[in-house]
Structure 1
């Protein structure tokens, strides 16, 4: 599993959730944060992957979905521990470098989370 190769929780010790409901969130605004809530400060990302079934491979500030000046959305890894890949790529994307997304692209974060981009 490419997402767990860098560091963080050992993939062999993880139990995949029996059920993870699909969520649909509109691409509103110019930026959407992806990560896990920080209980010490109460800081919560727009897409909080710390809720059940929590993905332990997701960093608190894992990635951003950002709207570029031309209206195209891109994903930007925030130097997360386990990286971010697009469309099942073997190598994580470079931190802090926007990667443009098309309709249907899949953004992989953490141990098992996949975010599929759908244009309205």
Structure 2
């Protein structure tokens, strides 16, 4: 018998998987047509591999770097390539709340942030609680899936 206690999986390990979501892209295009507005430019990036980011700290910014040096780059930088044309410089923010919870806040983005393929964008500057498996949609095709491991 081992002297090391079995502590199980670490509590509070949250990750975000960033991926190009064809379903989100098609919904954005359909909504633009229904609203009789211009479609967001750019083709869907079919072969963009997903990437995983471990959430650390109390605040994680989602957006795109404003300059080439990346000195103001958000923690989840969606600059590209390819560049999602609908992502704002500061699009959304993830905030950690004790004990072991996260919320998403739309930071006043130009094209809005939706959750779980919802029709209505999140109200800017209003925290929305996240659950494991939730999908945050930004831009023309970018989806961020949050999960706890």
Instruction: Flag whether TM exceeds 0.5 (same fold).
Output: yes
Question: Any idea what SS the aligned residue of 1:116 has?
Answer: strand
Gaps of 5+ in 1: none
Q: Distance in 1 between matches of 2:113 and 2:137?
A: 6
Higher relative contact order, chain-length normalized (CA < 8 Å, sep 6+): 2
Equivalence for 1:33: 61
Question: Any idea what SS the aligned residue of 1:63 has?
Answer: strand
Q: Rg: which structure is higher?
A: 2
Alpha-carbon RMSD across the aligned residues, in angstroms, is 2.1
Equivalence for 1:21: 49
Shift of 1:10: 3.6
More strand by share: 2
Q: Indicate how the Cα distance of structure 1 residues 31 and 12 shifts in structure 2: closer, same or farther if over 3 A, else same.
A: closer
Q: Distance in 1 between matches of 2:77 and 2:40?
A: 24
**Is the CA contact (8 Å cut-off) linking 1:36 and 1:58 kept in structure 2?**
yes
Q: Indicate how the Cα distance of structure 1 residues 67 and 12 shifts in structure 2: closer, same or farther if over 3 A, else same.
A: closer
Alignment of structure 1 residues 1-120 onto 2, 5 Å: 1-2=27-28, 5=32, 10-11=38-39, 13-39=41-67, 42-120=71-149
Q: Distance in 2 between matches of 1:25 and 1:40?
A: 22
Number of aligned residue pairs: give it: 117
Gaps of 5+ in 2: 1-26
State the TM-score, normalized to the length of structure 1. 0.88
